[in-house]
């Protein structure tokens, strides 16, 4: 029996308890430092190590020092099972992360997010039989953990399927009423569980009904979301997973889980609101607006003339410019062209051209997609300029080179009040002196909206695979 070294408010504590709680405090500090470092690409790698180190510390001190109400340590059989699961999961995660392509990173984020939601929901489901039904707070965190975790799991799986092209959008005016009905049903079941006065055994049917309704709500909640809103939805689901993890922490009274979940939930919520502001839309409008369901009206919606440019003309125009802004989009990631894009930036810089990258908050398929993509190619972070900072310079920019971007440079957001993206802040590429757009073909963007920019007087199209076109462009510039 471990020696008791103190007593606070009638509760005895031992040296092991003290070390365990101290390790949770250190882990929490690691989480905070890691989150801070993750805010900058140059320090993000260290941030991951700090956050991961905090999690490893919390897990292993729990395995070694945790004791139940009877003062018993975790059984060795369970310790080996946990260590085996950790090892297998770590190996799988390592292999997947090493092999995943940047184009599939949003899908991977959604998949990982789904596993977090599922874990939190399972914790709530398994611990419900132990809930004190006379303690409303205990029942509330269990019910919330189950509901939010299940929604995060099923919603993230649908997001994964949509990003991977396996699940199609379901645009229907009736969907918002279906979702409202499911949400009301989930709340009603939750309230019934809390006030029924029955035992967990008697409420077994209700908790599984809540699980089913929550899973269905997660599916139906994400199904109507249009393609251009997926970065917002991924961020929102990530915040759900964090909140669900915090609920699991409350269930177990684990401070590390509580703080870690709160940090993830808060960061995800803040990022979601920032992206909504960047799109000039409310979160409610994102969720029920079915963005991208309708075709845009206005100039170019019925087609127009896209004027092409040759490689030699494009290379001359870029080489003899003073200022060039590159607007990266998902097409750059699809072509895996970030490295050759960096090569183009370097060769233009040696010719005295001021080259910068314009970053839109929702470019790509997940928050910060373009930042991560360009950081992978070692593009200096000071050359990545946010939309609100680059737009004032657009009228003085000689050439804007749009690579695989579409909706984030579409002037319909300004010119066409009937467009689904009306009012959304865009990168004002159309104000530059010249625009070169690199695309694989003449198709519409992810939101399914025709782009007025492609038919503009100052715009020239350079069709083809972005990686090949950029490499040919680099070769042409070198030969000048």
The residues carrying an active-site annotation are 407
Q: Give 152's DSSP letter.
A: H
- Closest listed residue to residue 436, CA positions, set 381, 473, 390, 385: 473
Rounded to the nearest 5°, which phi and psi values hold at 453?
-60, -35
Q: Which two tokens stand for residue 28?
A: 């929490």
User: How many angstroms separate the CA atoms of 151 and 153, rounded?
Assistant: 5
> Distance of alpha carbon 435 from its chain centroid, rounded?
30
User: How many angstroms separate the CA atoms of 473 and 344, rounded?
Assistant: 8
Q: Compute CA distances 374 → 329, 339, 359, whole Å.
A: 11, 8, 10
Residue 7, number of CB atoms within 10 A of its CB: 9
Residue 71, number of CB atoms within 10 A of its CB: 10
Element (DSSP H or E) covering residue 327:
strand 323-328
> Distance of alpha carbon 250 from its chain centroid, rounded?
25
Cβ 460 vs Cβ 436: under 8 Å: yes
> Distance of alpha carbon 364 from its chain centroid, rounded?
10
Q: Which residues pair with 385 in a beta bridge?
A: 358
Rounded to the nearest 5°, which phi and psi values hold at 169?
-70, 150
Q: Who contacts 63 (Cβ-Cβ below 8 Å, separation ≥6)? A: 74, 79, 82, 83
Q: Which residues of 425-456 are buried (b: 16+ CB within 10 A; e: fewer)?
A: bbbbbbbbebbbbbbeeeebbbbbbbbbbbbb
Cβ 232 vs Cβ 167: under 8 Å: no
Q: Which two tokens stand for residue 211?
A: 């699980």
Q: Give 14's DSSP letter.
A: E
């Amino acid at each position: 029996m471990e020696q008791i070294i103190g007593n606070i408010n009638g509760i005895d504590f031992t040296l092991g308890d003290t070390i365990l709680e101290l390790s949770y405090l250190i882990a929490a500090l690691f989480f905070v430092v890691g989150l801070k470092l993750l805010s900058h690409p140059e320090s993000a790698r260290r941030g991951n190590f700090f956050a991961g180190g905090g999690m490893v510390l919390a897990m292993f001190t729990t395995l070694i020092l945790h004791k139940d109400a009877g003062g018993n340590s975790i059984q060795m059989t369970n310790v080996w099972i946990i260590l085996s699961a950790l090892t297998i999961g770590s190996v799988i995660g390592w292999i997947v992360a090493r092999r995943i392509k940047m184009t599939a990173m949003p899908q991977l984020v959604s998949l990982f997010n789904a596993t977090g939601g599922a874990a939190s929901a399972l914790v709530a489901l398994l611990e419900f039989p132990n809930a004190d039904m006379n303690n409303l707070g205990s029942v509330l965190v269990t019910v919330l953990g189950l509901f939010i975790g299940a929604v995060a799991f099923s919603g993230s799986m649908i997001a994964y399927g949509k990003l991977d092209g396996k699940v199609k959008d379901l645009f229907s005016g009736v969907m918002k009423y279906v979702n409202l009905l499911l949400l009301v049903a989930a709340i009603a079941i939750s309230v019934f569980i809390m006030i029924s006065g029955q035992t967990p055994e008697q409420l077994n049917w209700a908790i599984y009904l809540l699980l089913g309704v929550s899973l269905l709500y997660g599916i139906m909640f994400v199904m109507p979301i249009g393609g251009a809103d997926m970065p917002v939805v991924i961020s929102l689901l990530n915040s759900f997973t964090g909140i669900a993890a915090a609920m699991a922490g409350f269930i177990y009274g684990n401070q590390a889980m509580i703080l870690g979940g709160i940090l993830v939930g808060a960061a995800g919520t803040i990022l979601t609101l920032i992206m909504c502001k960047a799109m000039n839309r409310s979160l409610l409008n994102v969720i029920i607006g079915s963005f991208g369901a309708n075709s845009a009206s206005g100039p170019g919606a019925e087609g127009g003339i896209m004027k092409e440019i040759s490689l030699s003309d494009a290379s001359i125009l870029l080489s003899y410019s003073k200022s060039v802004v590159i607007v990266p989009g998902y097409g750059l990631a699809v072509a895996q062209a970030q490295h050759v894009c960096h090569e183009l930036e370097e060769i233009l810089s040696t010719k005295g051209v001021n080259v910068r990258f314009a970053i839109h908050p929702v470019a790509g398929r997940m928050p910060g997609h373009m930042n991560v993509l360009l950081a992978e190619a070692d593009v200096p972070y000071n050359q990545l300029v946010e939309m609100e900072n680059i737009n004032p310079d657009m009228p003085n920019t000689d050439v804007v080179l749009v690579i695989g971007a579409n909706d984030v440079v579409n002037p319909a957001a300004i010119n066409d009040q009937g467009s689904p993206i009306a009012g959304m802040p865009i990168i004002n590429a159309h104000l530059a002196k010249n625009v070169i757009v690199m695309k694989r073909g003449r198709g519409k963007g992810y939101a399914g909206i025709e782009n007025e920019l492609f038919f503009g007087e100052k715009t020239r199209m350079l069709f083809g695979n972005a990686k090949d076109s950029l490499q040919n462009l680099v070769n042409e510039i070198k030969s000048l």
